[in-house]
A and B are shown apart, each in its own frame.
Chain A
Amino acid sequence: MDFTLKIWRQDSANAQGSMKDYKVTDISSDTSFLEMLDVLNQQLIEKGEDVIAFDNDCREGVCGMCSLYINGEAHGPKKLVTTCQLYMRSFKDGQTIYIEPFRADAFPIVKDLVVDRSAFERIQQAGGYNSFDTGSAEDANNILIDKETAAAAFDSAECIGCGACVATCKNSSAMLFVSAKVSQFALLPQGRIEATSRVLNMVKQMDEEGFGNCTNTGACEVECPKGISLENIARMNREYLAASLKG
């Protein structure tokens, strides 16, 4: 398969960026999207040009490192997968593909397609944990959790922190990301103890980081590679309201 690629190039955080054109040819349909970019980078090295910088690591869809905005969609056209799990069979031979970074005010560009998502870190640090010290836990089976609740908590906890929700949202809201963590703890008995302070602190940090407001368009859920549900946002809103009344 052959493709025309239009890729965002930006030398550093403060440099001016622009779209540049590239061509790749003879790509097998079993090649992953990132492997297709590997092929392009090998060609650039041979020509003595600087490679296209993009984040990636596990290439199994779970580390959350890869973060490409492909033809106007976070992680590209296929649903429920990250960029690294996208294969070229999802595209048409000869197609033009636009590749951009995950854009948001809270995600400044580092270089080319690499962005700085440390705002997510600070939100997690604001309350995404249970406060207890190593070694002080009771026997695991003393806490009984029904199967459905455990499964629901897992579904929320599956968030990989990639930022597709933010990149997709027209307001660059981080509500899906934050609510997934808040929900995981809110659902579990061991997370209830600090539920009030957690939701207040995490939402406060989210606002301080410059993420936009949620206007319930639901675009984030559609593009989330892990299928994190909008129900998480609804749950967080309930938790937040309850916490505000308390606190």
Chain B
Amino acid sequence: MAKLDSKIPEGPIEKKWENYKAHTNLVNPSNRRKIDIIIIGSGLAGGAAAATLGEAGYNVKVFYFQDSPRRAHSIAAQGGINASKNYQNDNDSDYRLFYDTVKGGDYRGREENVYRLAQLSGNIIDQCVAQGVPFAREYGGTLANRSFGGAQVSRTFYASGATGQQLLLGAYSSMNRQIKAGSVKSYNRHEMLDVVIVDGKARGIIARNLITGKIERFGAHAVVVASGGYGNVFYLSTNAMNCNVTAAWKIYKKGAFFANPCYTQIHPTCIPVSGEHQSKLTLMSESLRNDGRIWVPKHKEDVEAIREGKLKPTEIPEENRDYYLERRYPAFGNLVPRDVASRAAKERCDAGFGVNKAGYAVYLDFADAISRLGVETVKERYGNLFDMYQNITGDDPYKTPMMIYPASHYTMGGTWVDYETMTTVPGLYAIGEANFSDHGANRLGASSLMQCLCDGYFVLPATIANYLSGDIHTGSIDTSSAEFDKAANGVQELIDKIFAINGTKSVDYFHRKLGKVMWDKVGLARNEKGLKEAIEEIKEIRAAFWNDVRVPGKANQFNNELEKAIRVADFLELAELMAIDALNRKESCGAHYREESVEPDGPQKGEAKRNDKEYTYVAAWEYMGEGKEPKLHKEPLTFNAIELKQRNYK
């Protein structure tokens, strides 16, 4: 089986990427048209990669389950994208962005990847402006910036509260140009349901045509998975309804190691759960923490009065409010990283200070910002978010503080990849949120868009040639081989098996049950007892699913329930791996918080405690077959350009 070799290039950290590019193998332009590349996903990573590889002259086939590439979930990102341009002259640099990202990730990311990300970040902004992305501007015409959590500089570029949309439409436009040119072929409403491995190499995929239900085969010299994260394992999350782990999970079962599955980000500022029919949670951008102040009442009697509707938050005087982030973390205040902010909210709510009826909400208050800046400025900065909040909750955030609570948002874990973004299977790549590499145990705000576009525009297109240079004489891949037969039959059997159950419960029923176990026991805070219980409960839900799920309709037609069943079946397996990984990591790091591992005393008392001696490694899990324990491989993390130390936001 493949060994973990991260393939880090030689040289000092700031020269590694240059060295890599200077010495890597290339495919000359006339040979590129003989090479086929499959990309799964049309979001920022997949769309950017498709456009760029198409421009380079490869034959690209891009697959996505939506009706248009522009629907990918990248579109929902609100706040912004980081880049070390230092346009604000506040001492920003590649090193500082690198440093903030490694520190924000609690020293569990791979430093060489992160440094490259920081170095390329500026190019992304140049690229997007050239595409016509309408970023916010200053009166003088230069690009505007705002601040995000975990940084003391202003390096976040934005387009109102719709940065993800605008960046995705930029990548989409470049991809459309290649579709028109014929170098990119776009397959909408197609879902990848297996990867085909021939002689140890990824050589194609099996996909279901979601309109006709037909199981189709596609060959290629390389397969790129850009299918996003698995936050929907929690059922309720800020992810789009159809976000799933299926592509990443299918390749895991074909030999691609899955890294750090327990690193899942719970975003601190989401609209709290309101009722049992709720299908998803809505994010309120982190950018709101630039001007919003987070608090709960200091006194329990005020909390009670608020819950009973006898007191309004605006009636509580300043001295009776607990701005707990400013109190606990004076240096960063409301702009601490997401994991810290989420845990602090949970701590206050668990202590009985939650301000909605269920007791799981805190205030995000703009009264100070409005009196300092005026309503117009606040409206200009956050108007669309305020409108969205008011539409969903019925409350006006210009007049009363927002209520927020943490929700599943992003997954730092994902398919293990080396410096070239190649998985442990030759010819199989993973980019964007689908891979694990850059954010360590916690992602900073506005870094997801950066990483997806960095992988898609600059990293993958520069690294994939090193592998494809060995394929210029291969010729097109035969999709009638025994390997394709086997994979296609496997997909058909899976679908037949689901329909054969004909049970009594819907797919959502099982997904909800799974989500509750994951939120309660593999969520914001984890402990050994809970994780062990979770593993057993997940197994029970999985068994019940395969015994009693009901999928109506037919296989050979548009059938959203079948799509959901296939995805939830994979979540039910991934969930167990998440719990196993969380159980293995007996330390608190970033978003992974083990209740057993906190600072016992000193100035950091009660804060999460890392265990660098035993856990400074990437946990990469290998699939060993159905019903068998996955095998743990460790990629040791070494930090040469940055000192390994405790995060301190105080």
Q: Which A residues lie at the B interface, using CB under 8 A?
A: 11-12, 27-28, 30-32, 34-36, 38-39, 41-42, 44-46, 48-51, 53, 55-65, 78, 80-81, 85, 87, 89, 110-111, 114, 116-118, 120-121, 124-126, 128-141, 143-147, 150-151, 153-154, 157-158, 160-161, 184-185, 188, 190-191
Contacts and interface: CB of A to CB of B under 8 A. Distances in A.
A137 B123 CA distance: 8
Leading 7 A-B pairs by shortest Cβ distance: A144-B141, A137-B130, A129-B173, A154-B134, A153-B134, A137-B126, A150-B137
Assign chain B's interface to a size class: 35 or more
A16 B138 CA distance: 56
A161 B504 CA distance: 38
Given A35-B278, A57-B242, A135-B458, A63 B131 contact: no
B584 interface: no
A82 to B, nearest CB: 10
B176 A129 contact: yes
B380 to A, nearest CB: 9
Interface string B290-323: 0000000000000000000000000000000000
A144 B142 contact: yes
Contacts, number: 218
A46 B253 CA distance: 33
A42 B134 CA distance: 42
B241 A59 contact: yes
B136 interface: yes
B142 A141 contact: yes
Nearest to B558: A111
Given A35-B279, A138-B126, A58 B552 contact: no
A46 B506 contact: yes
A167 to B, nearest CB: 15
A120 B186 CA distance: 14
Nearest to A31: B277
A134 B139 contact: no
Contacts of B169: 157
The CB with the most chain A CB atoms within 10 A, among B85, B241, B242, B461, is that of B241
Contacts of B141: 144-147
Contacts of A157: 132-134, 159, 166, 169
A45 B129 contact: no
A51 B139 contact: no
A225 to B, nearest CB: 11
Contacts of A35: 277-279
A124 to B, nearest CB: 5
Given A38-B279, A124-B176, A117 B76 contact: no
A161 B457 CA distance: 24
Contact of A146 (B139, B391, B457, B458): B139
Interface stretch (B64-72, B408-416, B418-426): B64-72
A30 B272 CA distance: 13
A51 B282 contact: no
Given A39-B277, A45-B552, A147-B138, A154 B76 contact: no
Contacts of B405: none
B392 interface: yes
Nearest to A138: B126
A44 B506 CA distance: 10
Given A150-B135, A154-B134, A157-B134, A85 B52 contact: no
A130 B173 contact: yes
Nearest to A111: B558
25 contacts: A28-B277, A39-B277, A46-B506, A58-B71, A61-B388, A62-B76, A63-B73, A85-B388, A87-B391, A111-B558, A124-B172, A129-B174, A129-B176, A129-B177, A130-B131, A135-B458, A138-B126, A140-B128, A145-B141, A146-B139, A154-B166, A157-B134, A157-B159, A161-B70, A184-B132
Given A57-B240, A63-B71, A129-B131, A114 B176 contact: no
Given A53-B560, A85-B388, A146-B141, A134 B277 contact: no
Contacts of A117: 67-68
A110 B211 contact: yes
Given A87-B391, A140-B128, A154-B134, 15 more contacts: A35-B279, A51-B560, A58-B240, A63-B71, A64-B70, A121-B186, A136-B130, A137-B123, A137-B127, A139-B126, A144-B140, A151-B136, A157-B133, A157-B159, A161-B68
B169 to A, nearest CB: 6
Nearest to B164: A62
Contact of B174 (A34, A51, A134, A185): A134
Given A126-B180, A129-B173, A135 B127 contact: yes
B527 interface: no
A85 to B, nearest CB: 6
Contacts of B180: 125-126
A65 B172 contact: no
